[in-house]
Chains A and B, each alone.
Chain A
Amino acid sequence: MTLYTTTVVTPPPARRRWKGFLIQVGYAIGFPIVLIVAWAIWTGISPQKFFPPPLTILEAFVDTWIGPAFFTDVIPSLYRLALGIILSIAIGIAAGTLIGLVRWLRELLEPTLEFFRAIPPPVIIAPVLIIFGIGDDARVIIIVAGSIWPILLNTIEGVRATDSVMTETAKSFALTRWERLRYLVLPSASPRIMAGVRQSLSVALLLMVISELFNNASGLGYKIKYFQTNYLIAEMWSGVLLLGLIGVLLATLFGLVERRVLRWYHGIKEVERA
């Protein structure tokens, strides 16, 4: 008894494969190249005070960031970002699971938590600064205080929505509470949790930048502001470019993790769509 119908698939001839690959690459970099070339032409024709040509920005990028600045500003900023994100995820999922499982606790806390989530994250910086001062610790706390809410609330939602038939199945096989948590509740909630993590990543990045714009210390945001106040325009743009790259890097990393963790979920979606 065969399980799957087999379609005979002949691999495409080598030349066609190459062509397909090139077309893909073409789509990927075509439009960006057009934009960059257009920018270069525009700044070449009429030099703009605030928009340096792309090559100048690239030079400034290499000069500024590939060097000591990388270690004095970029790495510490990234370290704080990573620490803040990890803490948010750990605390958010742990607390969210507990709250989601205990019904009266959830009903008690949910309105309050929704209020905290509604506070625009940058605003949270103010009380944290007041209470915790201007240290490195404070900057991590700022990131956690702002980015924990999407994870927390999404975990609560995800945990609470565990399918009743799946729960009955687990109970009927006499799975212990911990086993249920590990093999049922958390995996079942993981799509919602991942959605929360994605939201909190952008909030964390936002808070990292802002908390550094505020403080006169070190860090990526601080450096960019410094360039701006001192009219080092190309350097400023290079900083923006770097932040952009960090943002893209975060998004890509998240995408990789999410695709792995939620492989089953995407699989189901594909099957449904077919």
Chain B
Amino acid sequence: MATATAPAPTRRRRSANAARSARKIGLGLLGIVGMLATWQLIPTLGIVSPQYLPYATDTLANLFGEMRDLEFWRNVGRTLSLWGTGLAIATVAAIVLGTLVGLSRFLRKATHTTVEFLRPIPSVALIPVAILIFGLQPQAGLVIIVYATFWQVFVQVLYGVADIDTVARDTARSYGLSKVSQFRSLIFPTSLPYLMTGLRLGAAVALILTITAELVIGIPGIGSQITNALTVGDWLTVYTYVLVAGLLGLIVNLVFRFIERHALSWHQSVRGEEVL
């Protein structure tokens, strides 16, 4: 009779998993390098003139140069603070209104059509209005940032509050829990995952609109750097700041995914796909 094989040492298991992730990371890095190489090749081969698409190497060098300049970081700071302010205002408003509307069936039904009409309005449509009222100031940008971000978070809070398990709620009511403690022990924990998702989506949207506002209205920040560079034909700076915007977007995304995952580490995620 064949003998059963003894389990191999843990070193083998670790090495199998490590090999798999190493391969994944390796390929990913290879992809990025490949992308940079392609970028470098396009102007080199003249597919697009280097005047219109600067070399990758030049762009990266410029980026590192900029990062040594204090003004660069001030611009990043301006963008981030505008983003943060908009996100904060929108989130607070969304939580308050979302909870109020979500808890009342009447309000939900009454406001449904209004919400479904206002929500798809592109925030950028309000840019001319904002400029009229506030001029070319950061406040104008704040209007469109808050408008777009609000809906993201609001809808999620609405789902979250409405998702309360009816059995759980009936149980709470039958035990005579006060409204406050109902909120604390039932409503808040149930809607927290939705809020986290809303926050992540809202953060991304807020960043997009912040940079949009800077681009279009000229509010100082990363976006305005791009516009200024465009006007004077400084293509190198344009591409540099495109990279910066991308990196910023990536970082914001990663940070909020991290937050979301950790806030929800004790809670099973039941929702499917999200909506931007």
Contacts and interface: CB of A to CB of B under 8 A. Distances in A.
Given A126-B238, A131-B48, A237-B129, A121 B275 contact: no
Contact of A210 (B216, B242, B274): B216
B110 interface: yes
Contact of A120 (B32, B122, B212): B212
A83 interface: no
Interface in B6-60: 23-24, 27-32, 34-35, 48, 52-53
| Chain B, interface SS category | helix
Nearest to B134: A50
B113 A32 contact: yes
Contacts of A120: 207-208, 211-212, 245, 249
A59 to B, nearest CB: 18
A111 B273 contact: no
Chain B contact-residue range equals: 35 or more
Interface string B70-114: 000000000000000000000000000000000000000111111
Interface residues of A, number: 62
Contacts of B253: 118
B131 A228 contact: yes
Contact of B127 (A111, A112, A213, A250): A213
B187 interface: no
A198 B276 contact: yes
Given A108-B34, A122-B215, A127-B53, 12 more contacts: A27-B110, A28-B112, A29-B113, A31-B113, A108-B31, A120-B212, A123-B241, A130-B238, A154-B273, A213-B124, A228-B128, A243-B122
Interface of A: 27-32, 35, 50, 104, 107-112, 114-116, 118-127, 129-131, 150, 154, 191-192, 195, 198-199, 202-203, 205-206, 209-210, 213-214, 221, 224-225, 227-228, 233, 236-237, 239-240, 243-244, 247-248, 250-251
